[in-house]
Amino acid sequence: MRISRRLRVLILLLSLAWLIANSGKFLVVDEPQHADAILVLAGETDHRPARALELLSQEYAPRVVLDVPADAMVFGPSLLQLAQNWANAQPQSKAISICPIHGLSTKAEALEAAQCLHNVGARSVLIVTSDFHTRRALSEFHKEAPDFTFHMAAAYDRAQFGTLWWQHRQWAKINFDEWLRLLWWEFVDRWR
C-alpha cells in the first residue's frame, strides 16, 4: 500500500513540529555520577560553582576544579584573582583548585582542562555547566579528552533557559544559538 504524498508531508510536518517542541529537552543532559573530580566549565559564575559545591557536599567527588578565563579582567582584578578569593572563602576551600583557561571555545577548554585534571589525578570527571550547554560540552569533552570518563550535571538558571523554550524570548534565543553551535560541532568542528 502506497502512502499518499499529502500523508507523507503531514507526517513530516508533525515530526518536525515534535522535534522543534522537544529541542530544548534534547539539549539538557543532567545525569550526575560519582567521579574523581567535579569540573566547572568557564563562563557563568553563579549557578555553575554553586551546583559544583552542592555536588561536592553530596560527595559526588572529593574535589572541584574550576575553569577560569586566564586573561579576563573585571574592573581591575583578574578573574583568576576573583576566583581564587572566592575559592579561599568557601568552607571546602582545600578541595577547590583553579584551572586557568586561555581558549575561547568549549573545544579549546576541553584540551586545557584535561591537563588540570591530570594534575589532580582524575580519571573520571563530573562536568558542571549551564543546562543548555550540557549535550554539546559532553560530546566535545569525549572527543577532545578521550583519556577521561565524563558525566554531566546541569546548572539551571531560569532567567537564561528553560526546556519549554518558546515561553520566553531569552529561552528561545539561547535554544536557537545552542542548536547552531551543536550542529556546527557535529558537522564541522568534530571532524577537524
| Half-sphere exposure at residue 50, Cβ-oriented, CA atoms within 13 angstroms | 8
Q: What is the pLDDT of residues 100-142, one digit of tens each?
A: 999 999 999 999 999 999 999 999 999 999 999 999 999 999 9
Residue 186 belongs to some domain of the structure: no
Contact 28, 135 (CB under 8 A): yes
CATH for 45: 3.40.50.620
Question: Does any domain span residue 6?
Answer: no
Q: Where in the sequence is the domain holding 143, given as residue range(s)?
A: 27-160
20: confidence class by pLDDT, cuts 50, 70, 90: confident
Question: Model's pTM, two decimal places?
Answer: 0.92
Residues 158-170 have pLDDT tens digits of 999 999 999 999 9
Structural domain contains residue 4: no
pLDDT at 2 over 70: no
Query: Could you tell me if residue 75 is inside a domain?
Result: yes
Structural domain includes residue 183? no
Q: Is residue 180 in a domain?
A: no
Q: Where are the beta strands (DSSP E) in the chain?
A: 37-40, 64-69, 96-101, 124-130, 149-155
Euclidean distance between CA atoms 102 and 110, whole angstroms: 11
28-84 confidence digits (pLDDT tens): 999 999 999 999 999 999 999 999 999 999 999 999 999 999 999 999 999 999 999
Residue 81: the pLDDT is 96
Q: How many domains does the chain have?
A: 1
The answer to the question of residue 175 being in a domain is no
Pairwise CA distance, residues 10 & 32, whole Å? 39
191 in a structural domain: no
